[in-house]
């Protein structure tokens, strides 16, 4: 049976970094609800404006919207052999919907929590920069680009900072995570589908643990 990999972790824990590696190396599509919503927010309509405001405030988007996004994206052909959810589910309602969806898709859920302490998360988020072309994720404290604020792969392309990566927004996001998403760890733990990895190590060491869990 193919798998639905649920990558969990607080803002800045490294979900996106690891999901990108899984996509590159295991050909498992990365489905980041945050990225999909950010892309949707670029349109010029009312919904885009609402998403922009919610993300900028560090609040969650409505369940029905995010659920629709996941249903549509996971129905594509490239998801047949499994996929990685990065940032979904984040509420109990989303987790329940995922049970139903994966049952219909004949997939098994494997939840992996990347554990990173609170004090590290602030630097991870406020120091983050991303290439708008290839999506490569950098960090000015932990993984700086070779040349000041430009991408190592797309030479000369200026890295961008997310609107919700300022310290005040990060604190709201961490709080939202604590209240709404943290309880999901118990949910997957109780159903014996939760694996935990220490997220304060080299990216490669974390990846090796995740790959072992997936293939085990």
Q: Which residues are designated catalytic? A: 15, 90, 128, 162, 173
Figure out which of the listed residues 12, 16, 58, 82 binds Mg ion, where binding follows CB under 5 A: 16
Chain center to CA of 66: 13
Residue with Cβ nearer ligand AP5 (1 or 170): 170
- The one of ligand AP5, Mg ion, none whose footprint includes residue 12, by CB under 5 to 8 A per kind, is ligand AP5
- The one of Mg ion, ligand AP5, none whose footprint includes residue 73, by CB under 5 to 8 A per kind, is none
Figure out which of the listed residues 11, 41, 107, 113 binds ligand AP5, where binding follows CB under 6 A: 11
Q: Rounded to whole angstroms, how far apart are CA atoms 87 and 110?
A: 14
Residue with Cβ nearer Mg ion (16 or 89): 16
- For residue 113, what are the β-bridge partners? 8, 196
147, burial (CB in 10 Å: exposed 0-12, middle 13-18, buried 19+):
exposed
- Which residue is nearest to ligand AP5, using beta carbons? 34
For binding to ligand AP5 (CB under 6 A), which residues are involved? Answer: 9, 11-17, 32-34, 37, 54-55, 58-61, 66, 87-88, 90, 94, 124-125, 127-128, 137-139, 142-143, 173, 203, 206
């Amino acid at each position: 049976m193919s798998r639905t990999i649920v990558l969990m972790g607080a803002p800045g824990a490294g979900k996106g970094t690891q999901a990108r590696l899984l996509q590159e190396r295991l050909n498992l599509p990365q489905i980041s609800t945050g990225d999909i919503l950010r892309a949707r927010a670029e349109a010029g309509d009312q919904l885009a404006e609402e998403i922009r405001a919610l993300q900028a405030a560090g609040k969650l988007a409505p369940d029905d919207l995010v659920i629709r996004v996941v249903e549509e994206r996971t129905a594509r052909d490239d998801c047949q052999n499994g996929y990685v959810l990065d940032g979904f589910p984040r509420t109990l309602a989303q987790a329940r919907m995922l049970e139903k969806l994966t049952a219909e898709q004949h997939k098994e859920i494997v939840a992996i929590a990347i554990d990173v302490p609170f004090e590290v998360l602030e630097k991870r988020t406020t120091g983050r920069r991303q290439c708008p072309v290839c999506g490569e994720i950098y960090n000015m404290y932990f993984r700086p680009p070779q040349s000041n604020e430009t991408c190592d792969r797309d030479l000369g392309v200026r890295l961008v900072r997310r609107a919700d990566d300022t310290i005040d927004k990060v604190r709201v996001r961490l709080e939202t995570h604590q209240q709404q998403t943290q309880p999901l760890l118990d949910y997957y733990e109780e159903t014996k589908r939760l694996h935990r990895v220490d997220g304060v190590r080299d990216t490669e060491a974390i990846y090796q643990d995740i790959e072992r869990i997936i293939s085990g």
